[in-house]
Structure 1
Amino acid sequence: MQQTEPGILDPRIAVRRSTLADGRELIYFDDADTVLGTERAVDARALDPRPGTAEMRQDPLTGDWISVAAARQNRAFLPPAEADPLAPQTETNPSEIPSTYDVAVFENRSPSFGPDLPGWGESTDAAASALAELRAVGLDRTSPSHGRCEVVCFSPEHEGSFGTQTVSRARTVIEAWSHRTAALSALPGVQQVFPFENRGRDIGVTLPHPHGQIYAYPYVTPRTERLLASIDAYGPTLQADILDRERSGDRVLIAGEHWTAFVPFAARWPIEVHLMPHRHVPDLAATDEAERAELASLYLRLLRGVDRLYDTPTPYIAAWHQAPVHERRDEVRLTMQLTSPRRAAERLKYLAGSEAAMGAWIGDVPPETQARALRDAIEGVEL
């Protein structure tokens, strides 16, 4: 099967497009070894109109933009399995996805950003002008929360995570992330694309269904702005030099041909792992066939190793930091940063006074100690 979809490299993975009853986009990604047919059911629900695009307000003390998205108050909260909104639809469960699937991506019903986009098309000059305007600081500044928020379902099963999937399914999700990164980066007004997975109730997850999300922001996020400032202070080789230093040190967890996972020198969280490609690529869409093939198995080993630290699954945020869409793409390298507040079997790190109020972090576990524990756990992983 010859693919013409953006970002897809594995020609065995079919992409099937559909539309939900209220007009939201739905895309199915079929595994290379899928047992599914080619037909997909139509979403015949009667749905309310989509909520309007939220408003962003600027905090003049930091320059940060806050999207005030009140529609998110209505999203599902820990529903029973028979009412899982991410499972395939049945007669008794009018969920978000009409057909059974391998991997499915759809526009969030209660988005933080979007669904509206600015009207100036794909003009790079307009994108640069909009970004400069958003970086200015003033009082009572507002702006539409343009962009898009998507849900990425890793499996039709009710419970699980990325780490519980097969290698074939992991590759399908990676292709879906790459496809959506390419497509969302081309939308007017989008300045950064962020795939991520929240896992576990202790993180705040309200659906146990194995899934992640993708945010397409109308600005460059504060975390990336801090990275750009560090690159300005150090030089354009900052992330390449960090990777070279870590690969020769004692905090490496997995060293592949194309990727290395390590505990960073100044880890903030009790469990913190960074995963970087050896070649400079700005985002998932820029990875090649060999990098994606290795990532599918290496990333599973990493996540399953994190789960083997304790007798119960580890809560985490897996965040794929990608370069801004319109700037600094030759300096900002794709990096997955996994963080967990779990500092012992029955203890969590809570962000209190110093961290929450001042952003002044105190580490609970020496990074070298955690690296040794994680290496031991990863060695016992079987795929």
Structure 2
Amino acid sequence: MSELRLNPTTGEWVIVATHRVDRPFLPKDICPFCPGSPNIPDTYDVMIYPNDFPSLMTPAPPIEIEPPTFSKVAPIEGFCDVVLYSPKHDATLGTLPLDDVIKVIQLWQSRYHELARYAHIKYVLIFENRGKEVGVTIHHPHGQIYAFPFIPPIPAKELHHSQTYRNAHGSCLFCDILAEELQLHTRIVMEDDHFVTFVPFFAKYPYEVHIYPRRHIQHITELTHNEVTSLAHTPYPYYHFHIEFYSPYITRDKLKYLAGCEQGAGVVINSIPPETSAAKLRSIDG
């Protein structure tokens, strides 16, 4: 079973994908993404790998249940890809040579462009889960690309508030955030000619970091070669492409948990001011 079910109390869709419970937990000495593993070539540089247990599929499987009168059920048609960054099992995106990181970003761009051609795809999410702290069981360097048949709640809210801001002020919300962060400079972690890295004023996590391009662009395919190199090194005109990092750590040995207040009310409590976090990150970089 793989389908969408509507939560009528919030208007949010939930993906029910029962086959994902069958995902195996492999022994540490077995890696499905290393060269020569089943479905993986003996040699590769960077590559797209179809998720073996996708929660979004094209074509969508048939709906297996009649919904109650208060809800809806819809087919979940989309794509789930795995992006293998390197054949080296112990590598990370941050330790790859510059040329290899550029290849990863170019692969993101290429796949985004391919997925955008499908009429039923409304949003493409490029992301990486890393570390046992967030439940990662395969430690080979990889990320994922999900293509949704709807706009998920968080980007939908960003789009709504970006449009509202543009209607009220006649400018891009993200561009104005960036301009003021650059003016104050208290939360800037690092910057170059193309990108600015900062801890946002409204950060939910102590070490949440955002990367904004200086130039207003809508999506990753609009990055120029120089911008791709810079990033590797370090239909909504009111929307501004950006990257967000959410570290689960408060300190070196203490995790940030989303507990009662966060899960029940949707209100996140951040125990470290963003200005303090940015200063600490700057000192590490320096």
For residue 188 of structure 1, report the CA deviation from its aligned partner: 2.9
Q: Could you report, residue by residue, the CA deviation over 1:150-201 in whole angstroms, capped at 9, with x for unpaired residues?
A: 0000111223321121111100000000001101111231001111011110
For residue 117 of structure 1, report the CA deviation from its aligned partner: 5.9
| Residues 354-365 of structure 1 aligned to structure 2 (within 5 Å) | 354-365=261-272
Question: After the TM superposition, which parts of structure 1 deviate over 3 Å for at least 4 consecutive aligned residues?
Answer: none
Q: Could you report, residue by residue, the CA deviation over 1:115-162 in whole angstroms, capped at 9, with x for unpaired residues?
A: 3169xxxxxxxxxxxxxxxxxxx8220111101000000111223321
1:66 is matched with 14
Alpha carbons 1:251, 1:372 under 8 Å: kept: yes
2:188 is matched with 252
Q: Could you report, residue by residue, the CA deviation over 1:291-340 in whole angstroms, capped at 9, with x for unpaired residues?
A: 11111111xxxxxxxxxxxxxxxxxxxxxxxxxxxx42x11111100011
Alignment match of 1:340 (pick from 242, 247, 257):
247
Alignment match of 1:150 (pick from 81, 84, 91):
81
| Residues 35-46 of structure 1 aligned to structure 2 (within 5 Å) | none
Provide the C-alpha distance between the structure 2 equivalents of 1:280 and 1:232, rounded to a whole number of angstroms: 15
Q: What is the DSSP-based 3-state SS (H/G/I as helix, E as strand, rest coil) of the residue aligned with 1:162? A: coil
Letter in 2 for 1:65: W
Residue 85 in structure 1 maps to residue 32 in structure 2:
yes
Q: What is the DSSP-based 3-state SS (H/G/I as helix, E as strand, rest coil) of the residue aligned with 1:271? A: coil
Query: TM-score, normalization: structure 1?
Result: 0.69
Q: What is the DSSP-based 3-state SS (H/G/I as helix, E as strand, rest coil) of the residue aligned with 1:275? A: strand
For residue 232 of structure 1, report the CA deviation from its aligned partner: 3.5
Alpha carbons 1:184, 1:216 under 8 Å: kept: yes
Percentage of pairs with the same residue: 37
Alpha carbons 1:117, 1:188 under 8 Å: kept: no
For residue 225 of structure 1, report the CA deviation from its aligned partner: 1.2
Alignment match of 1:112 (pick from 55, 75, 98):
55
Query: TM-score, normalization: structure 2?
Result: 0.92
Q: What is the DSSP-based 3-state SS (H/G/I as helix, E as strand, rest coil) of the residue aligned with 1:233? A: helix
Alpha carbons 2:172, 2:239 under 8 Å: kept: no
2:219 is matched with 283
Q: What is the DSSP-based 3-state SS (H/G/I as helix, E as strand, rest coil) of the residue aligned with 2:32? A: coil
Letter in 1 for 2:283: D
Q: Are residues 378 and 76 of structure 1, via their aligned partners in 2, closer, same or farther at CA, if it must alter by over 3 Å? A: farther
Residue 209 in structure 1 maps to residue 140 in structure 2:
yes
| Residues 124-135 of structure 1 aligned to structure 2 (within 5 Å) | none
Alpha carbons 1:117, 1:189 under 8 Å: kept: no
For residue 98 of structure 1, report the CA deviation from its aligned partner: 2.4
Provide the C-alpha distance between the structure 1 equivalents of 2:25 and 2:87, rounded to a whole number of angstroms: 18
Alpha carbons 1:87, 1:96 under 8 Å: kept: no
Alignment RMSD, CA only? Answer: 1.6
1:198 is matched with 129
Alpha carbons 1:160, 1:208 under 8 Å: kept: no
Alpha carbons 2:163, 2:238 under 8 Å: kept: no
For residue 78 of structure 1, report the CA deviation from its aligned partner: 4.9
Q: Which residues of structure 1 form unaligned runs of 5+?
A: 1-51, 119-137, 299-326
For residue 109 of structure 1, report the CA deviation from its aligned partner: 1.3
Letter in 2 for 1:60: P
Provide the C-alpha distance between the structure 2 equivalents of 1:96 and 1:252, rounded to a whole number of angstroms: 43
Provide the C-alpha distance between the structure 2 equivalents of 1:70 and 1:159, rounded to a whole number of angstroms: 31
